[in-house]
Amino acid sequence: MKQFPWDILLALLAGLGLGLVYSWLISPVRVYDSEPAALRADFKDQYRTVIAAAYAATGNLPRAQARLSLLKDPNPIEALNAQAQRTLASGGSLTQADQLAALALALQTGTNLLPVSTPHIENTEPSSPTFPPTFTPIPTDVFFTPSETPEIIETPSPEPVINIPTPRPTRTPVPTVGAPFALIAQDTLCDPNLPDGLLQVMVFGANRRQLPGVKIIITWETGEEQFFTGLKPELGNGYADFLMRPDTIYTVQLAAGSDIAANLVAPSCQSPSGETFLGSIKLTFQQP
């Protein structure tokens, strides 16, 4: 009877093991040409911040959308809102949080709330652009370029010019967006279970869904504060609140543009036991 070749099998397995150790541990596949989706979470946050900052500067929503899609977030709007809230919670830059929330809102509503200041970009996908440059490349040496916006020089050519110079982008001021949010309800609540002087704000989109990340500006005679919807998701994505002081007149407006709720004063209420307490005000904004 022929003996089973255990030694050969053992050698095969040992070789397999050695091969795997080498390919997985000693010399794994080298990483280069990676995609933004593979970045570490904090770098993804940084990437999102820069996307939002670029959007705030250009107002180019399709380009911002294309860039966000590179991160392959399951829900980019939620990711932006969550990051805005994390930024605020960690005492980060209010401007950054604002830009993130503004981009989230623009994506949610599908409308561009910012003025577009750069021309349309032919290819939103950053890889493999298809259109060759229409002008002679600008000289590589820019170290001593005196002007911040160098002139583009067309190639002198005896043949008829076939390239039509594109007008330079100009930062023309665009009229501010109107009032996309209407104040549809303003209620006074006398509920002793609520904190004294609570100002509640609910913000709904045109589809009657609550909108998170909407910046609310509240002003009074001696100050101003900004807060966002969605910081208390347990009370609703479009919910935000603020504690009013007694005898202070407040004005509330959404930063994205809305009706103004003026002359808001915490109402004086009476409990069933006859006690006096500060009541609440509930404002409801909705996109028409």
Partner 1 sequence: MPPITCSDIHSNMMRSKRWAFVLLALIIGIGIGLIYGWVIDPVEFYDLTPDTLRADYKADYVLMVAEAYRLEQDPALAAQRLAIFGAQSPSSIAAEGLNYARANGFSDADIALIQELVIAMQSWSGIFP
| Binding window for partner 1 (CB under 8 A); candidates: 17-25, 78-86, 200-208, 250-258 | 17-25
Distances (CA, A) of 236 to 122, 127, 137, 194: 39, 39, 53, 16
**Pairing assessment for the beta strands 223-228 and 261-264 based on DSSP bridges:** unpaired
Query: Is the CB of 116 or the CB of 206 nearer to partner 1?
Result: 116
Q: 245 with 198: CB under 8 angstroms?
A: no
The continuous run of DSSP H or E covering 257 comes out as none
For residue 1, state whether it binds partner 1 (rule: CB under 8 A).
Answer: no
CA Rg value for the chain? 29
* Cβ within 8 Å of residue 30, ≥6 positions away: none
# residues contacting partner 1 (CB under 8 A):
70
H helical segments located in 161-213: none
The answer to whether 56 contacts partner 1 (rule: CB under 8 A) is: yes
Which range in 34-42, 201-209, 211-219, 237-245 contacts partner 1 by CB under 8 A? Answer: 34-42
Whole-number minimum distance, CB 112 to partner 1, in Å?
15
Indicate whether 15 belongs to the interface with partner 1 (CB under 8 A): yes
For the chain, report the end-to-end CA distance as a whole number of angstroms: 89
Q: Please name the residues in contact with 171: beta carbons below 8 A apart, sequence gap of 6 or more.
A: 117
Q: Does the protein bind partner 1 through residue 39 (CB under 8 A)?
A: yes
Cβ 125 to partner 1 shortest distance, Å: 9
User: Using the rule CB under 8 A, is 4 a contact of partner 1?
Assistant: no
Q: Does 162 bind partner 1 (CB under 8 A)?
A: no
Instruction: State yes or no: residue 18 binds partner 1 (CB under 8 A).
Output: yes
The Cα–Cα gap between 130 and 23 comes to 37
Q: Which of 104, 111, 114, 113 has its CA nearest to residue 211?
A: 104
Residue 134 or 157: which CB sits closer to partner 1? Answer: 134
By the rule CB under 8 A, 121 interacts with partner 1:
yes
* Smallest gap from residue 197 Cβ to partner 1 (A): 37
Residues that bind partner 1 (CB under 8 A): 5, 7-9, 11-24, 28-29, 31-36, 38-41, 43, 46-47, 49-51, 53-54, 56-58, 67, 70, 118-119, 121-122, 126-135, 137-138, 140, 142-143, 145, 148-150, 152, 166, 168-169
